[in-house]
């Protein structure tokens, strides 16, 4: 059990690592090209994994809706947006805002057309906590987020030293 707990935690760390790395590349090649690099490298890596260990995983069922194939298009948009934001807002703020919107959107998607139950109340309470968190995060005014975008793209070591007391 401890192994799986560590694996799941590690997975979260990997997600964060991936996004931070992309944010760094974004400063050089721009968010859209970063998205291309991310998907191309990921595709090659997964091709190797599948080719070497999971060749049986390639069966596809029938009757698939079209949108099931189009998640990758949204992935491109997501990686581009994320790579643009991370150098500007920092990793922790970006993560909390992205997770917040992700959870609220998934609640909206999930509860569409479903009857109200006792779980709905708990879910709405959770959503309220998230909204307060977003409000708090958005209203925090810090030096590092109040700079001009042009400067933001460049890691300024003077600024960085001042930001850490």
Rg (C-alpha) for the chain, rounded Å, is 20
Least Å distance, CB 140 to other proteins, is: 4
Residue 113 touches other proteins, criterion: CB under 8 A: no
Residue 148 touches other proteins, criterion: CB under 8 A: yes
Residue 116 touches other proteins, criterion: CB under 8 A: no
Least Å distance, CB 124 to other proteins, is: 9
DSSP symbol at 142: -
DSSP symbol at 114: P
Whose Cβ is closer to other proteins: residue 68's or residue 113's?
Answer: 68
Residue 2 touches other proteins, criterion: CB under 8 A: no
Residue 8 touches other proteins, criterion: CB under 8 A: yes
In this structure, the number of other CB atoms found within 10 A of the CB of residue 95 comes to 18
Q: Which parts of 35-94 interact with other proteins (CB under 8 A)?
A: 35-43, 45-47, 49-50, 54, 57-61, 63-65, 67-82, 84-94
How far apart CA 87 and CA 26 sit, in angstroms, is 8
Q: Give Cα separations from 120 to 57, 108, 113, 114, 115 (angstroms).
A: 36, 11, 12, 10, 9
Residue 115 touches other proteins, criterion: CB under 8 A: no
């Amino acid at each position: 059990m401890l192994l799986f707990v560590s694996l799941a935690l590690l997975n979260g760390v990997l997600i964060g690592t991936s996004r931070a790395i992309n944010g760094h590349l974004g400063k050089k090649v721009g968010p859209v090209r970063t998205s291309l690099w991310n998907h191309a490298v990921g595709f090659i890596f997964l091709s190797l994994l599948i080719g070497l260990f999971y060749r049986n995983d390639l069966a596809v069922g029938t009757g698939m809706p079209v949108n099931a194939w189009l998640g990758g298009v949204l992935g491109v948009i997501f990686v581009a947006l994320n790579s643009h934001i991370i150098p500007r807002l920092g990793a922790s703020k970006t993560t909390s805002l992205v997770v917040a919107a992700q959870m609220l959107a998934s609640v909206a998607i999930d509860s569409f057309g479903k009857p109200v139950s006792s779980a709905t109340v708990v879910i709405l309470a959770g959503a309220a906590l998230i909204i307060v968190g977003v409000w708090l995060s958005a209203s925090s005014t810090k030096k590092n987020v109040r700079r001009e975008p042009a400067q933001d793209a460049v890691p300024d070591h003077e600024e960085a030293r001042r930001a850490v007391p």
